[in-house]
Chains A and B, each alone.
Chain A
């Protein structure tokens, strides 16, 4: 079992490609052009977003 934690975001790496939004089952990620926000109230800490991210901006 992986530890339960929020994903960690490194904005300087982000390409704003929305891959993370596509796999987030909780609609907890909000992307608007060059701003990605995590809604901690919705996030279920599944870390799917960290796996899909093509560049490792979410870990």
Chain B
């Protein structure tokens, strides 16, 4: 097989975190190898595929229509009883992307810039010299290989086995993981084909929400992702929640389920340690996800940029110690982690709200209120609702119940 014995960076996992790491490392002329266990980069998809405009701008990614398939102009929120709040912006606030294609774009870009990528290559362990991680062992098409690296980037998603095998505890507590299930449905009519729809209900989505992320229209019919995320420790399965809810949606029910996805989302257990000697964890592997809405693609890619900066400097200074690499953790918290941490607290409050109280809350808000407060990002609405609640005395009384 065509790869070398030693690299500057070996990346485990070819999702947004790993692929972006490969691109940025290659741009810095570092020698980089990416190993992806699945036979196809981009598939299977474990994602609702929503990405806010802010991320495209921040990351400098051009929304190519080949993957940015549907412009989104805002959100419609449904209360448990079906009252809806429409938040619509004048300009597109995000896209639903075809992730299979998006990841292919990233992979081709990485390869074009000089990175080596191998699909169907599973990292099974790390190599260590004393306390220093010095590479990985992987299996490709039934054969075992070893490869050396100055730094190993664990970008292997929520399962995060690579970091754990190296000795970094990234195990997800059940309470901090959401369990998700989703169909891509086709041949349906969505009420709002250019808005994401979020349905709140403790009955069908304990702690989380149900969603419709529209992807497009053909012959007057819509298609898109219809899914649910619920508390990981819930005794009901996510599949059951979604199937039961669909029974209450006569129009949606008529659609065909052309893709079935499942996946879990680390929504709250931010790690204060994300590095070891010679290893950095990025993306879901390091629990870098928005704890309120579960979005993680943008956050993962942003963290990848930071990881590459720190790794490049570490290699230049020939200091691959945990102490040096841990600057990444510190910088990430300053840039993103601290904001996410404050959302964890808000989420804990939001998730305690009963369906009945939620109804009262929704009744006293208007779409306009939310719009005024949201001012931008596609998935910000949940956050805005909380803020608004804090300011209204009647609603604050309800909230006090939950603030203990």
Contact = CB atoms under 8 A, between A and B. Distances in A.
Contact of B266 (A16, A22, A53): A22
A32 B37 contact: yes
Interface in A1-42: 15-19, 21-25, 27, 31-33
Given A17-B264, A18-B157, A48-B174, A55 B181 contact: yes
A52 interface: yes
Given A18-B157, A52-B177, A23 B263 contact: no
Contacts of B120: 33
Interface residues of A, number: 21
A52 B242 CA distance: 15
Of the listed residues B44, B172, B181, the one surrounded by the most CB atoms of chain A closer than 10 A to its CB is: B172
Given A19-B179, A23-B232, A33 B37 contact: yes
A19 B262 contact: yes
B233 interface: yes
Interface in B263-321: 263-264, 266
Contacts, number: 82
Contacts of A23: 171-174, 177, 232, 264
Question: B interface, how many residues as a size bin?
Answer: 35 or more
B262 A22 contact: no
A21 B171 CA distance: 9
A42 to B, nearest CB: 12
Given A23-B171, A52-B179, A15 B232 contact: no
A53 B179 contact: yes
A51 B239 contact: no
A52 B232 contact: yes
Interface stretch (B75-83, B143-151, B159-167, B376-384): B159-167
A22 B158 contact: yes
B100 interface: no
B261 interface: yes
B38 interface: yes
A23 B171 CA distance: 6
B143 to A, nearest CB: 14
Interface string B250-270: 000000000011111010000
20 contacts: A15-B262, A17-B261, A17-B263, A18-B158, A18-B159, A19-B158, A19-B232, A21-B159, A22-B172, A23-B173, A23-B177, A23-B264, A52-B174, A52-B177, A52-B179, A54-B238, A54-B262, A54-B263, A55-B262, A56-B237
Interface of A: 15-19, 21-25, 27, 31-33, 48, 51-56
Given A32-B139, A33-B38, 18 more contacts: A15-B261, A17-B261, A17-B262, A17-B263, A19-B158, A21-B161, A22-B158, A22-B159, A22-B266, A23-B172, A23-B173, A27-B161, A51-B232, A51-B233, A53-B237, A54-B237, A54-B263, A55-B237
